[in-house]
Amino acid sequence: MTTARLSRTEDFTMTISGLLTKRAELFNEAERIRDRLAEIKNDLGALDRVLGSLGYTGDLDAAMPRQKREVIFGRGELTKAIFAELRHATAPVSSRDIAREIVAMRGEDARDRKYIADLTRRVSKALRQMREEGLVRSVADAKGNLQWERRT
């Protein structure tokens, strides 16, 4: 009976090194794709503004190919992320600051202005609902902007 040797080395250093190299390559590729996607979204926004300034009054969204709805957060995931940010905050924070922190926490592209604006709206809506449920409270800053904190 012969026994097959499972590895030519005892410590798998070559395998580990290869996997780490591949992981770094994939991470860099994902970062390049994320950067390009943010550039494209910003370019689309600029094109939309130029079309509007030139007098185009048609529905830009109707002219776009239909896409599947992108689910960004699972059920309750946004609320949990907001609570996590409020838990770590030492002072009341704005919806935009919470949105930026969530983007950073998830490792997404903070340069995508449209995404930050969309997420800020979602965070604001979630915070208003949480306020109605008595989970958070809002205070106005000197400029009248709402700042949010957990109820104690």
Domain residue spans of the chain: 9-67, 69-152
d(CA 7, CA 4): 9
| pTM higher than the cut 0.95 | no
d(CA 13, CA 15): 5
Out of 24-28, 91-95, 106-110, 115-119, which region has the weakest mean confidence (pLDDT)? 106-110
* CATH architecture for the domain at 69-152: Orthogonal Bundle (1.10)
pLDDT digits (tens, 9 = 90+) for 59-97: 887 777 766 666 677 788 889 999 989 988 888 999 999
